[in-house]
Amino acid sequence: MAVVEAAGSDLWASFRTRCARLIGRGDPEREDEALERLDRTAAVLAASADEKEWDRQREAQAHAWRGEIASLLESLQAERDELMAGLDALRARDGGEETGGAVSGNTFRGPVAFQTGAHSTQDCRFGTAG
């Protein structure tokens, strides 16, 4: 579900890179294949025409990625604990890299509220500057 939740978010670029690296486990070809599958997931979700279709695709993609991760875990022996720790860190968005979100290329009209922060800390301000 972490893949689906990250797709299309501000964290996607960092998430997809770390996820592919984790799945590839040092094999550049496997990492490239994982990047392609991750990009297809993001594209399918982005192309969903309405909320019902998006929900359907979200479940289908989450199911596919659960299978992908389960197969990967079954194929490992000694690396299993290391991979599980990596998956936990990825899901928690704590992979050792800067994970702060960023807003880029957006247009806002009217009142806007931005929420920023980490570890459930937020600073919300409403109203006009003055």
**pLDDT tens readout for residues 78-94:** 677 777 788 788 877 64
Tens digit of pLDDT per residue, the chain (130 long)? 888 888 878 888 888 999 999 888 889 999 999 999 999 999 999 898 888 988 999 999 999 999 988 888 787 776 777 777 887 888 776 444 444 555 444 454 445 555 444 445 555 555 665 5
Tokens representing 112?
Answer: 């806007």
pTM beyond 0.75:
no
On whether the CB atoms of residues 31 and 24 are closer than 8 A, the answer is yes
Distance CA 57, CA 73 (A): 24
